[in-house]
Amino acid sequence: MPDSNRSADLFDKPLASPFLRAVHATPVRPYYRPLHARDGEAVMDGRQVVMAGCNDYLGLATDPRVTAAAGAALRTYGASCSGARTLNGTLPLHGELEAAVADFLGTEDAAVVTTGFQSNLALAALFGAGDVVLSDNANHASLIDGIRLGAAHRLRYRHRDPVHLERLLTDADPAAAKAVVTDGMFSMDGALAPLPALTAAARRHGARTIVDGAHDIGLLGPAGRGAAEHFGVHDRVDLFTGTFSKCFGSTGGFLAGPTRVITYLRYAARAILFSASMPPPALAAAMSALEISIAEPWRRHRVLTLAARLRERLSGLGYDTGSAAVLGESDAGPAGPVIAVRAGDAAACVGLWQRLLDEGVYTNPVGPPAVPEGCCIIRVTLQATHTDTHVDRIADAFAAARRLTPAPAVPVLARPR
């Protein structure tokens, strides 16, 4: 049956999602806006604003040591290797960064990849026909795509629900090779995966555990190795993926784990084999930022302290920041630097975003599919380079917005689960 809504012109497509269509029905245009961020602030439309929507959690992307390292590599090696790792795309810097990542995470080996997204796409090479992949239903798009690109059977367990995972593992073919795949810290609301229970369930059923530490490696845990270290289960994770674009001030990604699986992926993962390698300035910036993050643990402590303070102030103003989910069921650990402020429907969400911007604070308005239906959020992120005054200005902007739009008398949104 032909679909009467379909056009015969391939290019005749509506905006991707109902959320975006609803945003475009308002006068607010929050996306693809040029801005230039540095040290916790940004210049947008010629105006200086507080940057509260950037994943540079440790404040290293514009650190002079990081930019100097990138500049030196640029002058020495040029802007690009213009080739894949297997052929002409390997510099000594690639091996040095891989050794540094493996050393930091305590894994046998690591492979650096051009983006974090590609490190998750590379996982497809592991997921063969007959294998079973169990994936948290709020995993990042790149993990979902990596799983879909593979041939394995995909089962989704409820967000952060080890009991549901256990049930799916129990029902799965005992003879199948299995993997449990999860974000360490979920990107949109900063919630932590319950890794002790997930890794225990995986072990009971002979499944491998793969954790995407994009948002938590460099930030959480006594040595900054991430959410698994924070929970004391770092050595129960079989394979880590991650990015240099958040804590490590650069762009690029990595996979870290046993030598045999990293070697296999180097030769089997199409996202590695058929893409130009991480460029020299990005490599040098990542190396410098990794070293600084290890030498200056105050950065991660600072950003976590600031986040706890802001979260408290926003809750005091009557905003729902979902902090119970952030802390995890049985965990009294740190609240991360990602604060998800529930913001109602698309129009309410971008309306709040615009008011915050008018008050001089840039944030991220987020709707489905990045968050569940009906759960639009203003995603607020902090950085180690924010001052106390920055945090006050963010809270004051939310207070001003609240004066214009009072809190609803009853919660209108279910927490995403």
Q: Does 115 bind ligand PMP (CB under 6 A)?
A: yes
For ligand PMP, the closer of residues 199 and 243 by Cβ is: 243
Is 178 a catalytic site residue? no
Among 164, 234, 246, 390, the active-site one is 246
Contact with ligand PMP (CB under 6 A) among 41, 50, 109, 142 = 142
CB of 214 to ligand PMP, least distance (A): 3
Catalytic site residue from 187, 275, 293, 323: 187
Q: Which is nearer to ligand PMP, 288 or 393 (CB)?
A: 288
In a 10 Å sphere around its CB, with 0-12 CB exposed, 13-18 middle and 19+ buried, how is residue 36 labelled? exposed
Residues 234-293 that bind ligand PMP (CB under 6 A): 243, 245, 253
User: Are 249 and 383 a contacting pair, CB within 8 Å?
Assistant: no
Phi, then psi, of 346 in degrees rounded to 5: -60, -45
As measured in angstroms, the least distance from the Cβ of 292 to ligand PMP is 19
What count of Cα atoms within 13 Å lies in the side-chain half-sphere of residue 309?
19
Q: Which is nearer to ligand PMP, 282 or 335 (CB)?
A: 282
For ligand PMP, give the closer residue by CB, 243 or 277.
Answer: 243
Nearest CA-CA partner of 115 in 214, 196, 5: 214
Of 208-237, binders to ligand PMP (CB under 6 A) are 212, 214-215
How many Å apart are CA 326 and CA 321, to the nearest integer? 9
Q: Is 246 a catalytic residue?
A: yes
Cα gap 263→258, rounded to integer Å: 9
Indicate if 94 belongs to the active site: no
Among 117, 157, 231, 319, binds ligand PMP (CB under 6 A): 117
Q: How far is the CB of 132 from ligand PMP (least distance, A)?
A: 22
Contact at 8 Å (CB) between 359 and 400? yes
Q: Is position 299 an interface residue for ligand PMP (rule: CB under 6 A)?
A: no
Are 252 and 73 a contacting pair, CB within 8 Å? no
CB of 352 to ligand PMP, least distance (A): 22
**What minimum distance in Å lies between the beta carbon of 370 and ligand PMP?**
10
Nearer to ligand PMP, 124 or 401 (CB): 124
Give least dist CB 309 to ligand PMP, A. 24
Give the angle subtended at the CA of 100 by the CAs of 95 and 101, to the nearest 5°.
Answer: 100
Using Cβ positions, the residue closest to ligand PMP within the complex turns out to be 116
Task: List the interface residues with ligand PMP, window 332-351 (CB under 6 A).
Answer: none
Contact with ligand PMP (CB under 6 A): which of 98, 136, 183, 216? 183
Give the active site residues. Answer: 187, 215, 246
Report the interface residues with ligand PMP, using CB under 6 A.
115-117, 120, 140, 142, 183, 187, 212, 214-215, 243, 245, 253
